[in-house]
Structure 1
Amino acid sequence: MGSLPVVNQPVEHRSGALLDHLARRVRVRSEAVLAPLGLRPRHLVALTVLRSRGDCTQQSLAATLEMDGTNVVGLLNELEAENLIERRRSPEDRRRHLVELTDAGAKQLEKAESALAAIEDEVLGALDESQRETLHTLLLQAARGGETSCPTDIDA
């Protein structure tokens, strides 16, 4: 029977519970401002990934979002019905679909981000600009630690 790893950081300095608390505060407020735009947080994440990475296959988008393929299809159906994304067959492999953000999707994403800026100001109001930039950099670094890319072609 192996031993558990020793955690050198005191319990009061662990960040998981704080991140969860802040995420809940942001999520509740975000849902309220996204609803009039016809968006939910999961829509926003998918649109943001597509904007930052460009076209990608449904399969690689599912991996990036850490979602089951069936759930990603449902999510993409919702976004496609609103003309926020477009799916087309991959020219390299007709069995695969490429997903891309439409101009309407980019505009809707900008509206959502503007609405969400006020929420971020409220939740992170105790931090000055420099601290917010540091927090953003650290969160981005942590998020990229386990991230997969969204290539347009899949390695066989």
Structure 2
Amino acid sequence: MASLPVVNQPPHRCGALLDHLSRRVRTRAESVLTPMNLRPRHLLTLTVLRDHGSSTQQALAATLGIDSTNLVGLLNDLEADNLVERRRSPEDRRRHVVELTDVGAKKLAKAEFALAAVEDEVLGGLTPDQREELYCLLQQATATTDVEACAGADEAGQTLVQSCVKGDVSAR
């Protein structure tokens, strides 16, 4: 039986591949974080506090995109292990300020080394240059989530976006 010709074949779609890859990373990440008594949401919270400094609980909930009630439980976990500290804000006694502790910074560094090994395993089929390219493209994709943001991209960035849409990531 002869195969039917493909008419108007759609362009390659990344969604299923990204989902598959993220599941592989997540599964491996959880296996290295669990012995450290960390979950991905703990790691994200510690990373935000390290990268942006202390924060009010309200601002931290907004940054993490979670309900403030859920944040309280998350911070309870982290505070129980002495990874973060909550204290009353000196400016407004009704607010709590959350800060990364030295213990938390050390545990975060240990977790990041373990996760680097996970990435090495999962992305082992890519060269260092390809991994850097993937990182840059993913950063760009997460930074430009709507048409208006894409329209505001500079000329070089727009060229890169157009090249990636065409499948030519070497245009960089």
TM-score bracket for the superposition, by shorter chain length = 0.7 to 0.9
Higher RCO (C-alpha under 8 Å, 6+ residues apart)? 1
| Structure 1 CA distance for aligned equivalents of residues 53 and 143 of structure 2 | 17
Q: Aligned partners of 1:136, 1:29: CA distance in 2, in Å?
A: 19
Q: Name the counterpart of 1:101.
A: 100
Sort the Cα spacing of 1:60 and 1:35 in 2 relative to 1 into closer, same or farther, 3 A: same
CA distance in 1, matches of 2:28, 2:18: 16
TM-score (norm 2): 0.73
- 1:12 Cα shift? 4.6
Residue 49 (structure 1) aligns with? 48
Counterpart code for 1:80: E
Which residue pairs with 2:25 in the alignment?
A: 26
Gaps of 5+ in 2: 1-8, 146-172
CA RMSD of aligned residues (A): 1.7
Aligned with 1:63: secondary structure?
A: helix
Task: Structure 1: give runs of 5+ residues left out of the alignment.
Answer: 1-9, 147-156
2:76 equivalent to 1:77: yes
Determine which structure has the larger helix proportion and give its number.
2
**Cα distance in 2 between the residues matched to 1:72 and 1:15:** 32
Identity score, percent: 69
Is residue 2:95 matched to residue 1:114? no
Number of residue pairs the alignment of both structures matches = 137
Secondary structure in structure 2 of the residue aligned to 1:125: coil
Which has more radius of gyration? 2
The farther-off stretch of 114-123 and 129-138 is 129-138
